Amino acid sequence: MKLSDLFKKKSSGDVAKDRLKMVLVSDRANCSPEIMERIKSDILEVLSKYAEVDKDQLDIHITQMETDESGTNSVPALYANIPIRNIHHTAK
Amino acid sequence: MGEVIVVTSGKGGVGKTTTTANLGTGLSLLNKKVVLVDTDIGLRNLDVVLGLENRIVYNLVDVVEGNCKLAQALIKNKDNANLYLIAAAQQRDKNAVNEEQMKKLTAELKEQFDYVIIDCPAGIEQGFKNAIAGADKAVVVTTPEVSAVRDADRIIGLLEANEMKDSQLVVNRLRPDMVKRGDMMSADDVVEVLAVNLLGIVPDDEDVVVATNRGIPLAGNGKSLAGQAYMNICRRLNGEQVPFLDLDTKKGFFSKLFSK
């Protein structure tokens, strides 16, 4: 907490807006399985221009990432682990 | 060929039915031929807000099941010949109608009316799916509260998933005095969070309750701030450029009048 916060209380309207933004970040990140599949196939399509990837070992999902050391604030993040078998020497 | 507009919100009690009634009244005052369709099967209310509860013979379910002709289910408004209602059935549930039937009905209504306005039930289940099935565009109603805005965001996402990209927002029941002292989110705050186009701001107004008591919607009533706000929304829907009401100066005027 900052020193100035002790003297100036945040208005409830601003509190509402901040809380709303936070809750929407996680609401919006909960994307449907169909959208997740589309994200996966689009990423694969782009990557396959440059490299041969191991589709069976592929792992792409939404996770939470902490934004500060204390771990109190977290944002959704796209986690992707894509094993590469071979890099193409020239882009297709 | 008319336009089909769905009035939706996700959360209940934010003013969908009141907004639908006022859009219908206002647009019909602009000499447009309008039909309002209540899709809240089992919990109908648009009829009472319009003061037409004693005139219902046939309803939405009767039309889609073929128990009557479409013309027989069109209830004519009391004083406005341009405005009609198709009431929801009260003794059935949302599953009495499906999306294909709604598409067919709205397509038919579009031939006869300039505007077909669909009053959507709360929630995201079958009733919501029915309401948006035949819609060309959506008006999303919210109040400046965390719960209502959160649900509006979800609804906007679902509308986008159904190919309705440019939802327009009505911020209902705004209290300029509370916004001024920082205890309510402003319409700008809500628009910033939701990232949609603002269609209008309706102030919290006792006249809305009085209008519902009497069954006569406010739109077009120049004495009421909410009545003016609804009329402006109708003009914007109809393609006019109308500046937003300065709710703050009005409030200032009144507080000056009534302050010691």
pLDDT score for B256: 47
pLDDT score for B84: 98
Cα of B115 vs its chain's centroid, Å: 12
Residue A62, domain extent: 32-92
Residue B107 CB-half CA count within 13 A:
8
In chain B, % of residues over pLDDT 70: 95
pLDDT score for B76: 96
Burial class (CB in 10 A: 0-12, 13-18, 19+), B1: exposed
Residues B117-128 have a mean pLDDT of 97
pLDDT score for A6: 57
Which tokens go with B98?
A: 């499906």
Strand-strand pairing, B137-142 and B3-8: parallel
Q: Give the separation between CA B121 and CA A42, rounded to whole angstroms.
A: 36
Number of structural domains (chain B) is 1
Do residue B182 and residue A21 have CB atoms under 8 angstroms apart?
Answer: no
pLDDT at residue B137 greater than cutoff 80: yes
Contact (CB, 8 A) for A31 and B154: no
Mean pLDDT for chain A overall: 79
**A78 lies in a domain?**
yes
Q: pLDDT: is A89 or A44 the higher one?
A: A44
* pLDDT tier at A55, thresholds 50, 70, 90: confident
Q: Which of B256, B8, B206, B149 is nearest to A13 (CA)?
A: B149
pLDDT in tens, B167-192: 999 999 999 999 999 999 999 999 99
Residues B67-81 have a mean pLDDT of 93
Q: What is the ipTM of this complex?
A: 0.81
Burial class (CB in 10 A: 0-12, 13-18, 19+), B211: buried
**A8 lies in a domain?**
no
pLDDT score for A88: 83
Which residues of chain B does A26 touch, with a Cβ-Cβ cutoff of 8 Å?
Answer: none
Residues B100-108 have a mean pLDDT of 97
Do residue A27 and residue B184 have CB atoms under 8 angstroms apart?
Answer: no
**A22 lies in a domain?**
no
**A4 lies in a domain?**
no
Question: What is the nearest CA distance from B151 to chain A, expressed in angstroms?
Answer: 10
Which stretch of DSSP H or E encloses residue A86?
A: strand A84-87
Question: What is the nearest CA distance from B153 to chain A, expressed in angstroms?
Answer: 8
Q: Give the separation between CA A49 and CA B113, rounded to whole angstroms.
A: 52
* pLDDT tier at A91, thresholds 50, 70, 90: low
CATH, residue B225: 3.40.50.300
pLDDT at residue B245 greater than cutoff 70: yes
Torsion of CA B140, B143, B149, B152, to 10 degrees: -20
Which tokens go with A92?
A: 């297709």
* pLDDT tier at B249, thresholds 50, 70, 90: very low
A contact test, residue of B189, B190, B191 with most A CBs within 10 A: B189
Q: What residue type is assigned to position A66 of the chain? A: E
Q: What residue type is assigned to position B242 of the chain? A: V
Residue B108, domain extent: 3-258
B contact test, residue of A24, A30, A34 with most B CBs within 10 A: A24
Which stretch of DSSP H or E encloses residue B176?
A: helix B176-180
Residues A11-20 have a mean pLDDT of 93
pLDDT at residue B259 greater than cutoff 50: no
pLDDT score for B149: 97
Number of structural domains (chain A) is 1
pLDDT in tens, B142-163: 999 999 999 999 999 999 999 9
Work out the angle at residue B169's Cα, subtended by the Cα atoms of residues A18 and A33, and round it to the nearest 5 degrees: 70
Mean pLDDT for chain B overall: 93
| A–B interface: beta-carbon pairs under 8 A | 38
Which residues of chain A does B184 touch, with a Cβ-Cβ cutoff of 8 Å?
Answer: 13, 16
**A75 lies in a domain?**
yes
pLDDT at residue B80 greater than cutoff 90: no
Q: Give the separation between CA B49 and CA B133, rounded to whole angstroms.
A: 24
**Which residue, chain included where needed, has tokens 């989110």?**
B185
Question: What is the nearest CA distance from B156 to chain A, expressed in angstroms?
Answer: 11
How many other β-carbons are positioned within 10 Å of the β-carbon of residue B12? 13
B17 marked ligand binding residue: yes
Which tokens go with B250?
A: 């009005």
Q: Give the separation between CA B127 and CA B39, rounded to whole angstroms.
A: 7
Name, in order, each residue with C-beta under 8 angstroms of A26's C-beta and a sequence gap of 6 or more. A76
* pLDDT tier at A62, thresholds 50, 70, 90: confident
Burial class (CB in 10 A: 0-12, 13-18, 19+), B63: buried
Contact (CB, 8 A) for B7 and B20: yes
Distances in whole angstroms, Cα of residue B178 to Cα of each of B14, B144, B204, B247, B252: 18, 11, 11, 12, 13
